[in-house]
Structure 1
Amino acid sequence: MQRLSGLDASFLYLETPQQLLHVCSILELDTSTMPGGYTFAALREALEERVAAMPEFREKLADSRFNLDHPVWVDDDDFDIERHVHRIAVPVPGGREELSEIYGHIASQPLDRSRPLWEKWIIEGIDGVDPREGGRVAVLTKVHHAAVDGVTGASLMSKLCSTEPDAPAPEPVPGVGSGNSVEIAVTGAVKYATRPLKFVNAVPTTLNTVVDTVKRVRAGASMAAPFAAPKTAWNANVTGHRNIAWSQLDLEDIKTVKNHFGVKVNDVVMALVSGVLRKFLLDREELPESTLIAMVPVSVHDKSDRPGRNQVSGMFSRLETHIADPVERIKAIAGANSVAKQHSSAIGATLLQDWTQFAAPAVFGTAMRVYAASRLSGARPVLNLVVSNVPGPQMPLYYMGSEVKAMYPIGPVFHGAGLNITVMSLNGTLDVGIVSCPELLPDLWSLADDFGPALDELLDAVG
């Protein structure tokens, strides 16, 4: 068995019927490249062969009432691919509106914790064309955040893909094994007993971080502060409903802007998000005088020696939405991001993981429920939204033999931050996934459709 880290387990403890903490990925597939032609049975059979080489997809949660530490992953001895891979047809005419409704409905349903925490939905009938006759297929994958972060999720997806349509499946890989309630409780007690030693080690790092942050604030060299975000329509408690929209951009256009202004790809992404949200709020006469603040997850996989599948830190970034000129805005965003990255790098890479390791399970759930009930999420937002940028492979990919034409990542939303925009670069495109609640933002397409014009605005500035 394999014990969850505190950070992994925190996504279990923080989950409520409204705050669902799974992540999704939407693939658009060209079935014409699938050897032997597309059938659902053939795709599911190919998936089963791939999953045999991916023990993470065959593991479920286990716990004991006497366990003092976090739950564990164990092999699901009753694993059945048919419980995880489902088939559905999009209603006629099968356009983006119909697809969006299906995606939102699936994303609104919690995962079954008695089974491995993932499922896939194969969606046929896109644009009214049968995939057996060359029509496209969409695949929505849903995985709990306790099992993946952005990097590990992309890694799992890469294992399901290949660079050739007829690539053979990898050899099967054994799982983590099993564990009974006594083993879980005994090993959990041992880990619980060693927590004070780890706590002592975390205190100096925390104190150094606090002192360094105070110095940076005084010198004007710190990232944006939490609770400095202005109020927007989506900064409220989330509901159990989800709506989803997406956009696809040319990665070469992104790089053209990047090279012209001498900034990073992530700066361009942030500038696009800023331009889209600025227009959205201006059109509704709701643009705050101060800038919106985004939380940007930062991978620490290459800096951390801690166990766990979530290896992330984060930084608060200014979107500079109060600046009208797009050139001034992207330059200001790049400057603010540079400062935020330096500040984020100065914070211990494992600090978040260490502190979540100590907290008792009840603390997470209780704190979140109190926060939601107090309505502080709307009165004083910690941040405005989550913006994440996940780099992907720049080569043609094939998913069970079908060429991947798009891969839209869909992250979670939280009480107080009911909007998530995640992007992934893939083989010359930048795929943008947007998720919120229809009660907070009824029409996400007004956001998605403005990403193209926002990029055109920056390209016009490039000339």
Structure 2
Amino acid sequence: MNERLRPRDLAILAEETPSAPAHNATVEIFECADSGFDHDRLVELIRDRISFVPRYRQRLQQVPGRFANPIWVDDEHFDLAYHVRRSALPRPGTHDQLRELVGRIVSRPLDRTRPLWEMYLVEGLAGGRVALLSKAHQVLVDGVETVDLGQLLLDVSPEPKLLGADPWQPRPRPSSAALLVEAARDSVTQPRTVLDAARGTTGALLRTGESAAGTAGRVLGGLAGRRPQRAGALGGPLSQQRRVVTVETRLEDYRRVRDVHGGTINDVILATVTGGLRAWLMTRDESLRGFRRVRAVVPVSVIDTELEATSLGSQIAAHYVDLPVGEASPVVRLHQVSYSFQAHKETGRGVAANRLAGIAGFAPTTFHAIGSRLAAREVRRGYQVSVTNVPGPQSALYAAGARMVASYPVHPLVQGHPLAVGVTSYDGGVFYGITADRDQLPDAELLGTCLTEALDELLDTVNGGRSRAPRGRRGQAKPARPARPRGSRP
């Protein structure tokens, strides 16, 4: 029996548009001078591990007449070479060139007639490095039935543990008659099947009508000589193109701030995002008008039996934070962010960062996928930006012998929200991935610079341990250390 698409996943498909493709991406950088890591070895590695995520060889099949939700079926023409692609930058490739390439690739929706994922090995980076860009649709990686393939490709040592590719044979595609019979059976045993399918079809038609009406309105406005009204830096209609900005900082810097001012690493990261947004908004025409606080949705890991279980040992819940971008003091911003999380900490539901970092494989890719699904579901509750911070392992990981030195999450954008921020900590680094609409936010690169300057602001308050810790956990002040190297934006 084939697995049927769940109602929430059907809603994700119905809400997806060319200007808001619903896939997550990750950009990982590898040192491969001595490992021989290339496209052929990547294909071999994926062929060896893909059996652990069977859905990566399945595609969606509609039921005739849409009497029930689509089902997952084996792709009889599955071609690994189609999904694992090779690209290159002109040597020596710069990180600016890599970001431009990533922005173009993540702008393109996935082909729904095939398994909903792609990977690109990008060669030619300066220093003999390569980049691995992976894309996976939100309905493919739900954290319940399927984790991200990237979680399975990395090893803790340079010697890969090859498990042996399975002799996979696709199951025959069910006939139209079989699909209808199965849908009829589900309508009896699971009465919500037909109702969910009807709701999904009606919702898709309504959204299509809304999209057409919006397009017509923009056309008429242009004919009348009026430009469409923009909603500012953190709102407005999306184009079909993206900008991707990456920022690398060091975990030790966040620990220094935490040890003096208290709170958690997550609090310091969010305070850094707050300071970065503040400085960036002040450079724009709207300055801080209407942005004294920025409403952010921050997915957090919890233990809660009332929420949908995942295969990662915890559930994901939405936490809302009003980021105090109107506050001039970096320490007060940190205290306000920390206080906003105090109630969450006191519930006892929170999951410690070291527990998340200890999950087998590189779990941040899966957590980011779940976080983006949550942000899409919560969009009607009126937030302005999503910020997903996931702790990863603090030791080196390898793919086919090549050491991973950086990992940047690239979150999808939802309609009306031209900015999303993902953060991954790994092996002593804290890596920001900023996804921005290319037309709405042409100055997104400046936000990356503002983030590093916001962290510098916090570090300037640490020297000498002058500040007191906020309510909650109090850290012990450490002696001042030599100035750190500035965070780079690769």
Q: State TM-score, norm by structure 1.
A: 0.76
1:307-386 equivalences in 2 (<5 Å) = 312-339=316-343, 382-386=382-386
Q: Which residue of 2 is the match for residue 357 of structure 1?
A: none
Q: SS where residue 113 of structure 1 aligns?
A: coil
Q: Which residue of 1 is the match for residue 183 of structure 2?
A: 185
The answer to whether the Cα contact below 8 Å between 1:237 and 1:414 also exists between their aligned partners in 2 is no
C-alpha distance in structure 1 between counterparts of 2:182 and 2:310, whole Å: 17
Structure 2 counterpart of 1:5, which letter?
R
Structure 1 counterpart of 2:293, which letter?
T
The answer to whether the Cα contact below 8 Å between 1:231 and 1:384 also exists between their aligned partners in 2 is no
CA separation of 1:411/1:337 partners in 2, compared to 1, >3 Å: closer, same or farther? same
Q: Which residue of 2 is the match for residue 452 of structure 1?
A: 452
1:47-446 equivalences in 2 (<5 Å) = 47-91=46-90, 93-127=92-126, 135-149=128-142, 156-172=149-165, 180=174, 181-182=179-180, 184-190=182-188, 192-194=190-192, 232-285=232-285, 286-289=287-290, 290-299=292-301, 303=305, 306=308, 312-339=316-343, 382-446=382-446
Partner deviation per Cα, 1:405-431 (whole Å, 9 max, x = no partner): 101011111112110000011111111
1:105 Cα offset (Å): 0.4
The answer to whether the Cα contact below 8 Å between 1:61 and 1:73 also exists between their aligned partners in 2 is yes
CA separation of 1:138/1:64 partners in 2, compared to 1, >3 Å: closer, same or farther? same
Unaligned runs of 5+ in 2: 197-229, 351-375, 464-490
Q: Which residue of 2 is the match for residue 2 of structure 1?
A: 3
Q: Which residue of 2 is the match for residue 372 of structure 1?
A: none
CA separation of 1:145/1:52 partners in 2, compared to 1, >3 Å: closer, same or farther? same
C-alpha distance in structure 1 between counterparts of 2:448 and 2:69, whole Å: 39
Q: Which residue of 2 is the match for residue 25 of structure 1?
A: 26
The answer to whether the Cα contact below 8 Å between 1:288 and 1:322 also exists between their aligned partners in 2 is no
Task: Give the superposed CA RMSD.
Answer: 3.3
Q: SS where residue 64 of structure 2 aligns?
A: coil
The answer to whether the Cα contact below 8 Å between 1:85 and 1:120 also exists between their aligned partners in 2 is yes
C-alpha distance in structure 1 between counterparts of 2:130 and 2:325, whole Å: 37
The answer to whether the Cα contact below 8 Å between 2:144 and 2:311 also exists between their aligned partners in 1 is no
Q: SS where residue 462 of structure 1 aligns?
A: coil
Structure 2 counterpart of 1:293, which letter?
R
Q: Which moved more, 1:145-154 or 1:44-53?
A: 145-154
C-alpha distance in structure 2 between counterparts of 1:312 and 1:54, whole Å: 21
C-alpha distance in structure 1 between counterparts of 2:384 and 2:246, whole Å: 19
The answer to whether the Cα contact below 8 Å between 2:277 and 2:451 also exists between their aligned partners in 1 is no
Aligned length: 393
Q: SS where residue 115 of structure 2 aligns?
A: coil
CA separation of 1:438/1:344 partners in 2, compared to 1, >3 Å: closer, same or farther? farther
C-alpha distance in structure 2 between counterparts of 1:191 and 1:420, whole Å: 41
CA separation of 1:335/1:73 partners in 2, compared to 1, >3 Å: closer, same or farther? same
The answer to whether the Cα contact below 8 Å between 1:315 and 1:341 also exists between their aligned partners in 2 is no
1:6 Cα offset (Å): 2.4
